[in-house]
Amino acid sequence: MASVEDGIAGSDTDPPIDHAFEPAGFVVLVEPGDRIHFLDWAGSAPSADGAGVVLIHGLAGSAWAWAAVARRLRSVARTIAMDIRGHGLSDAPTSPGAYELPILASDVVAVAEGSGAIPGDGGGVVLVGHGFGAIVGAAAAARLGHRCRRLVLVDGGLDDLSTTTGMDVDEFLRGLDEPPEIMRSMTAYLADRRAWDPPTWDADQERAARAAVVETPAGRLVGATRPHALEACVRTMFAYEPATVLPAVRAPIVVIRQGGGPPIDPAAIGGAEIATIDVTAPGHNLLRYRPAEVAAAIVGR
Protein backbone atom coordinates (compact mmCIF):
# COMPACT_ATOMS: atom_id res chain seq x y z
CA MET A 1 0.00 0.00 0.00
CA ALA A 2 2.81 2.43 0.82
CA SER A 3 4.08 2.12 -2.75
CA VAL A 4 0.97 3.74 -4.18
CA GLU A 5 2.00 7.10 -5.62
CA ASP A 6 -0.96 8.23 -7.70
CA GLY A 7 -4.28 6.99 -9.00
CA ILE A 8 -6.04 4.13 -7.27
CA ALA A 9 -3.47 1.39 -7.78
CA GLY A 10 -0.52 3.43 -8.99
CA SER A 11 -0.31 1.68 -12.38
CA ASP A 12 0.30 3.21 -15.79
CA THR A 13 -3.25 2.25 -16.81
CA ASP A 14 -4.98 4.35 -14.15
CA PRO A 15 -7.13 7.10 -15.68
CA PRO A 16 -5.83 10.64 -15.21
CA ILE A 17 -7.21 12.71 -12.35
CA ASP A 18 -9.50 15.45 -13.61
CA HIS A 19 -8.54 18.41 -11.44
CA ALA A 20 -11.03 20.68 -13.20
CA PHE A 21 -14.14 18.58 -12.48
CA GLU A 22 -16.74 20.29 -10.26
CA PRO A 23 -19.10 18.07 -8.23
CA ALA A 24 -22.78 18.94 -8.04
CA GLY A 25 -24.39 19.72 -4.67
CA PHE A 26 -27.65 18.19 -3.48
CA VAL A 27 -29.61 17.80 -0.24
CA VAL A 28 -31.68 15.06 1.31
CA LEU A 29 -34.46 15.85 3.77
CA VAL A 30 -34.47 14.05 7.11
CA GLU A 31 -36.98 14.27 9.95
CA PRO A 32 -38.25 16.76 10.99
CA GLY A 33 -37.32 18.53 7.75
CA ASP A 34 -33.58 19.15 8.17
CA ARG A 35 -31.47 19.30 5.01
CA ILE A 36 -28.26 17.28 4.77
CA HIS A 37 -26.01 18.46 1.96
CA PHE A 38 -23.71 16.27 -0.13
CA LEU A 39 -21.43 16.58 -3.13
CA ASP A 40 -22.01 14.10 -5.93
CA TRP A 41 -18.72 13.47 -7.71
CA ALA A 42 -20.63 11.91 -10.64
CA GLY A 43 -18.50 8.83 -10.63
CA SER A 44 -18.87 5.74 -12.74
CA ALA A 45 -21.35 2.98 -12.08
CA PRO A 46 -20.84 1.24 -8.71
CA SER A 47 -17.52 -0.54 -8.31
CA ALA A 48 -16.87 -4.19 -9.12
CA ASP A 49 -18.40 -5.37 -5.85
CA GLY A 50 -21.56 -3.32 -6.52
CA ALA A 51 -20.87 -0.69 -3.87
CA GLY A 52 -20.95 3.07 -4.10
CA VAL A 53 -18.90 5.16 -1.66
CA VAL A 54 -20.03 7.72 0.94
CA LEU A 55 -17.28 9.90 2.45
CA ILE A 56 -17.75 11.50 5.90
CA HIS A 57 -15.45 14.37 6.95
CA GLY A 58 -14.02 15.06 10.37
CA LEU A 59 -14.81 17.57 13.10
CA ALA A 60 -15.17 21.18 11.87
CA GLY A 61 -14.59 20.06 8.27
CA SER A 62 -16.78 19.77 5.21
CA ALA A 63 -17.34 17.56 2.19
CA TRP A 64 -14.62 19.49 0.36
CA ALA A 65 -12.00 17.92 2.63
CA TRP A 66 -12.37 14.75 0.51
CA ALA A 67 -11.67 16.36 -2.88
CA ALA A 68 -8.23 14.79 -3.45
CA VAL A 69 -9.58 11.33 -2.59
CA ALA A 70 -12.86 11.75 -4.48
CA ARG A 71 -11.07 12.73 -7.70
CA ARG A 72 -9.27 9.38 -7.55
CA LEU A 73 -12.36 7.34 -6.68
CA ARG A 74 -14.84 8.69 -9.20
CA SER A 75 -13.30 6.72 -12.06
CA VAL A 76 -14.13 3.42 -10.37
CA ALA A 77 -17.14 4.01 -8.09
CA ARG A 78 -20.12 6.25 -7.50
CA THR A 79 -18.63 8.71 -5.02
CA ILE A 80 -20.53 10.92 -2.58
CA ALA A 81 -19.07 13.28 0.06
CA MET A 82 -21.49 14.60 2.69
CA ASP A 83 -21.60 17.47 5.17
CA ILE A 84 -22.34 16.31 8.71
CA ARG A 85 -25.25 18.28 10.19
CA GLY A 86 -24.04 21.57 11.67
CA HIS A 87 -21.14 21.59 9.19
CA GLY A 88 -20.69 22.85 5.66
CA LEU A 89 -24.01 23.48 3.89
CA SER A 90 -26.07 21.08 6.00
CA ASP A 91 -28.66 22.45 8.42
CA ALA A 92 -27.66 23.04 12.04
CA PRO A 93 -30.70 22.26 14.20
CA THR A 94 -30.72 23.50 17.78
CA SER A 95 -33.12 20.92 19.17
CA PRO A 96 -31.94 18.78 22.11
CA GLY A 97 -30.27 15.56 21.02
CA ALA A 98 -29.90 16.67 17.40
CA TYR A 99 -26.22 15.63 17.32
CA GLU A 100 -26.38 12.35 19.18
CA LEU A 101 -24.72 9.45 17.40
CA PRO A 102 -27.91 7.60 16.29
CA ILE A 103 -29.15 10.80 14.60
CA LEU A 104 -25.83 11.43 12.85
CA ALA A 105 -25.78 7.80 11.71
CA SER A 106 -29.29 8.09 10.33
CA ASP A 107 -28.18 11.12 8.29
CA VAL A 108 -25.48 8.98 6.66
CA VAL A 109 -28.02 6.30 5.81
CA ALA A 110 -30.32 8.95 4.31
CA VAL A 111 -27.51 10.30 2.13
CA ALA A 112 -26.47 6.79 1.04
CA GLU A 113 -30.02 5.98 0.04
CA GLY A 114 -31.04 9.35 -1.36
CA SER A 115 -27.90 9.84 -3.45
CA GLY A 116 -28.08 6.41 -5.06
CA ALA A 117 -24.79 5.31 -3.51
CA ILE A 118 -26.66 2.18 -2.43
CA PRO A 119 -27.67 0.57 -5.74
CA GLY A 120 -31.34 -0.09 -6.27
CA ASP A 121 -30.67 -3.77 -6.95
CA GLY A 122 -30.02 -4.41 -3.28
CA GLY A 123 -26.28 -3.78 -3.39
CA GLY A 124 -24.34 -2.16 -0.59
CA VAL A 125 -22.22 0.89 0.11
CA VAL A 126 -18.69 1.54 1.31
CA LEU A 127 -18.69 4.00 4.23
CA VAL A 128 -15.54 5.99 4.87
CA GLY A 129 -15.00 8.36 7.78
CA HIS A 130 -12.11 10.55 8.86
CA GLY A 131 -11.58 11.43 12.51
CA PHE A 132 -14.98 12.22 14.01
CA GLY A 133 -16.48 11.09 10.70
CA ALA A 134 -15.06 7.62 11.40
CA ILE A 135 -17.18 7.47 14.56
CA VAL A 136 -20.27 8.54 12.63
CA GLY A 137 -19.45 6.08 9.84
CA ALA A 138 -19.05 3.19 12.28
CA ALA A 139 -22.47 3.85 13.80
CA ALA A 140 -24.01 4.13 10.32
CA ALA A 141 -22.36 0.87 9.22
CA ALA A 142 -23.86 -0.92 12.23
CA ARG A 143 -27.26 0.48 11.32
CA LEU A 144 -26.98 -0.56 7.66
CA GLY A 145 -26.06 -4.16 8.46
CA HIS A 146 -25.54 -6.21 5.29
CA ARG A 147 -26.08 -3.10 3.14
CA CYS A 148 -22.63 -1.85 4.18
CA ARG A 149 -19.99 -3.67 2.12
CA ARG A 150 -16.92 -2.16 3.79
CA LEU A 151 -16.18 0.33 6.57
CA VAL A 152 -12.98 2.36 6.25
CA LEU A 153 -11.85 4.28 9.32
CA VAL A 154 -9.28 6.96 8.51
CA ASP A 155 -7.32 7.97 11.64
CA GLY A 156 -10.35 7.68 13.89
CA GLY A 157 -13.11 5.52 15.28
CA LEU A 158 -10.94 3.23 17.44
CA ASP A 159 -10.49 5.20 20.63
CA ASP A 160 -12.26 6.04 23.84
CA LEU A 161 -11.11 9.66 23.75
CA SER A 162 -11.26 10.31 27.48
CA THR A 163 -8.69 7.55 27.91
CA THR A 164 -6.45 8.25 24.93
CA THR A 165 -6.35 12.06 25.26
CA GLY A 166 -6.26 12.23 29.05
CA MET A 167 -8.75 15.12 28.79
CA ASP A 168 -12.35 15.63 29.71
CA VAL A 169 -14.71 17.01 27.09
CA ASP A 170 -14.60 20.60 28.39
CA GLU A 171 -10.81 20.71 28.36
CA PHE A 172 -10.84 19.39 24.79
CA LEU A 173 -13.35 22.06 23.74
CA ARG A 174 -11.17 24.83 25.16
CA GLY A 175 -8.30 23.65 23.00
CA LEU A 176 -10.20 23.97 19.71
CA ASP A 177 -9.85 27.74 19.38
CA GLU A 178 -7.47 28.88 16.63
CA PRO A 179 -4.75 31.42 17.58
CA PRO A 180 -6.00 34.98 16.96
CA GLU A 181 -3.10 35.78 14.64
CA ILE A 182 -4.19 33.01 12.26
CA MET A 183 -7.81 34.16 12.21
CA ARG A 184 -7.01 37.84 11.69
CA SER A 185 -7.40 37.53 7.91
CA MET A 186 -7.97 35.04 5.13
CA THR A 187 -4.41 35.64 3.95
CA ALA A 188 -2.94 34.68 7.33
CA TYR A 189 -5.21 31.68 7.65
CA LEU A 190 -4.42 30.27 4.21
CA ALA A 191 -0.71 30.83 4.74
CA ASP A 192 -0.91 28.81 7.95
CA ARG A 193 -2.73 25.93 6.23
CA ARG A 194 -0.37 25.96 3.27
CA ALA A 195 2.63 25.75 5.62
CA TRP A 196 1.43 22.46 7.13
CA ASP A 197 2.81 20.58 4.13
CA PRO A 198 3.48 22.83 1.10
CA PRO A 199 3.89 20.01 -1.49
CA THR A 200 0.29 18.85 -0.91
CA TRP A 201 -1.28 22.32 -1.05
CA ASP A 202 -3.36 22.89 -4.18
CA ALA A 203 -6.64 24.44 -5.31
CA ASP A 204 -8.69 21.67 -3.67
CA GLN A 205 -6.91 22.14 -0.35
CA GLU A 206 -7.47 25.89 -0.50
CA ARG A 207 -11.15 25.34 -1.21
CA ALA A 208 -11.46 22.96 1.72
CA ALA A 209 -9.69 25.46 3.97
CA ARG A 210 -11.95 28.31 2.85
CA ALA A 211 -15.03 26.15 3.44
CA ALA A 212 -14.03 25.75 7.09
CA VAL A 213 -14.23 29.47 7.91
CA VAL A 214 -16.45 32.53 7.40
CA GLU A 215 -14.99 35.96 6.73
CA THR A 216 -16.61 38.79 8.72
CA PRO A 217 -17.15 42.28 7.27
CA ALA A 218 -14.10 43.41 9.24
CA GLY A 219 -11.98 40.79 7.50
CA ARG A 220 -11.48 38.54 10.51
CA LEU A 221 -12.43 34.86 10.36
CA VAL A 222 -14.68 32.66 12.46
CA GLY A 223 -15.19 28.93 12.16
CA ALA A 224 -17.92 27.90 9.72
CA THR A 225 -19.15 25.07 11.94
CA ARG A 226 -21.90 26.43 14.16
CA PRO A 227 -20.66 26.69 17.77
CA HIS A 228 -23.60 24.79 19.26
CA ALA A 229 -23.13 22.00 16.71
CA LEU A 230 -19.38 21.83 17.30
CA GLU A 231 -19.82 21.49 21.05
CA ALA A 232 -22.55 18.88 20.67
CA CYS A 233 -20.46 16.84 18.21
CA VAL A 234 -17.46 16.91 20.55
CA ARG A 235 -19.65 15.64 23.39
CA THR A 236 -20.89 12.85 21.11
CA MET A 237 -17.31 12.08 20.17
CA PHE A 238 -16.31 11.70 23.83
CA ALA A 239 -19.36 9.53 24.56
CA TYR A 240 -18.44 7.09 21.76
CA GLU A 241 -17.66 3.53 22.89
CA PRO A 242 -15.78 1.64 20.16
CA ALA A 243 -16.05 -1.62 22.11
CA THR A 244 -19.83 -1.37 21.76
CA VAL A 245 -20.22 0.03 18.25
CA LEU A 246 -17.54 -1.78 16.22
CA PRO A 247 -18.58 -5.37 17.08
CA ALA A 248 -22.06 -4.50 15.73
CA VAL A 249 -20.63 -3.78 12.27
CA ARG A 250 -21.19 -6.75 9.95
CA ALA A 251 -18.96 -5.45 7.16
CA PRO A 252 -15.19 -5.85 6.93
CA ILE A 253 -13.45 -3.00 8.74
CA VAL A 254 -10.29 -1.41 7.34
CA VAL A 255 -8.31 1.09 9.40
CA ILE A 256 -5.84 3.46 7.77
CA ARG A 257 -3.93 5.55 10.24
CA GLN A 258 -0.89 7.71 10.70
CA GLY A 259 1.96 5.24 11.10
CA GLY A 260 3.84 4.39 14.25
CA GLY A 261 0.84 4.05 16.54
CA PRO A 262 0.72 1.46 19.31
CA PRO A 263 -0.85 -1.95 18.67
CA ILE A 264 -4.62 -1.92 18.91
CA ASP A 265 -5.95 -3.54 22.07
CA PRO A 266 -8.65 -6.04 20.99
CA ALA A 267 -10.55 -5.38 24.22
CA ALA A 268 -10.75 -1.67 23.41
CA ILE A 269 -12.66 -2.41 20.21
CA GLY A 270 -14.78 -5.20 21.62
CA GLY A 271 -12.85 -7.89 19.76
CA ALA A 272 -13.94 -6.57 16.36
CA GLU A 273 -11.83 -7.86 13.49
CA ILE A 274 -10.02 -5.13 11.59
CA ALA A 275 -7.32 -4.82 8.96
CA THR A 276 -4.84 -2.05 9.72
CA ILE A 277 -2.83 -0.02 7.20
CA ASP A 278 -0.20 2.32 8.65
CA VAL A 279 1.14 5.14 6.48
CA THR A 280 3.85 7.69 7.13
CA ALA A 281 2.38 11.18 7.10
CA PRO A 282 3.15 14.59 8.66
CA GLY A 283 -0.18 14.80 10.48
CA HIS A 284 -3.76 13.69 11.06
CA ASN A 285 -5.14 14.94 7.72
CA LEU A 286 -4.41 11.82 5.67
CA LEU A 287 -7.00 12.95 3.11
CA ARG A 288 -4.60 15.72 2.14
CA TYR A 289 -1.26 14.08 2.81
CA ARG A 290 -1.90 10.56 1.51
CA PRO A 291 -4.96 10.58 -0.78
CA ALA A 292 -3.70 7.72 -2.97
CA GLU A 293 -3.30 5.35 -0.02
CA VAL A 294 -6.70 6.33 1.35
CA ALA A 295 -8.35 5.81 -2.03
CA ALA A 296 -6.67 2.43 -2.43
CA ALA A 297 -7.91 1.29 0.99
CA ILE A 298 -11.44 2.38 0.13
CA VAL A 299 -11.63 0.19 -2.95
CA GLY A 300 -9.80 -2.68 -1.28
CA ARG A 301 -6.53 -2.60 -3.21
| Mean per-residue pLDDT, 276-283 | 93
8 Å CB contact between 146 and 121: no
CA separation for the pair 37, 29 (Å, rounded): 9
Task: Kindly indicate the confidence band of residue 42, based on its pLDDT and cuts at 50, 70 and 90.
Answer: confident
pLDDT of residue 45: 56
pLDDT reading at 6 higher than 50: no
Residue 34 has pLDDT above 90, yes or no: yes
**pLDDT value at residue 297:** 93
d(CA 249, CA 108): 15
With beta carbons less than 8 A apart as the criterion, state whether 59 and 230 touch: yes
Percent of the chain with pLDDT over 70: 92
Which pLDDT tens digit goes with each residue over 191-227? 999 999 999 999 999 999 999 999 999 999 999 999 9
Picking from 301, 30, 252, the residue whose alpha carbon sits closest to that of residue 138 is: 252
Q: Is the pLDDT of residue 15 over 70?
A: no
Q: For residue 4, is pLDDT > 70?
A: no
The whole-number pLDDT of residue 260 equals: 72
Distances 298 to 91, 100, 151, 275, 283 between C-alpha atoms, Å: 28, 26, 8, 12, 20
Average pLDDT over residues 86-91: 98
Residue 275 above 90 pLDDT?
yes
Contacts of 104 by beta carbon, 8 Å cutoff, 6+ apart: 84, 85, 136, 139, 140, 233, 236
The tens digit of pLDDT for each residue in 238-271 reads: 999 999 999 999 999 999 999 877 889 999 999 9
State pLDDT tens for residues 95-121. 999 999 999 999 999 999 999 999 877
Residues 67, 151: Cα–Cα separation, whole Å: 19
Could you tell me the pLDDT band of residue 13, with boundaries at 50, 70 and 90? Answer: very low
The span from the CA of 97 to the CA of 153, in Å, is 25
Map out the domains of the chain with their CATH numbers.
24-164+226-298 (3.40.50.1820)
DSSP for residue 256? E
Is residue 44 predicted with pLDDT exceeding 80? no
Give the span between the Cα atoms of 172 and 47, in whole angstroms.
Answer: 39
pLDDT at 12 over 50: no
pTM for the model: 0.94
Residue 125 identity: V
Tell me the pLDDT tens digit for each residue of 142-195: 999 999 999 999 999 999 999 999 999 999 999 999 999 999 999 999 999 999
Using omega within 30 degrees of 0 as the cis cutoff, is the peptide bond preceding 32 cis? yes
Mean pLDDT, residues 35-59 taken together: 84
Q: Residue 301: which pLDDT band, with cuts at 50, 70 and 90?
A: confident
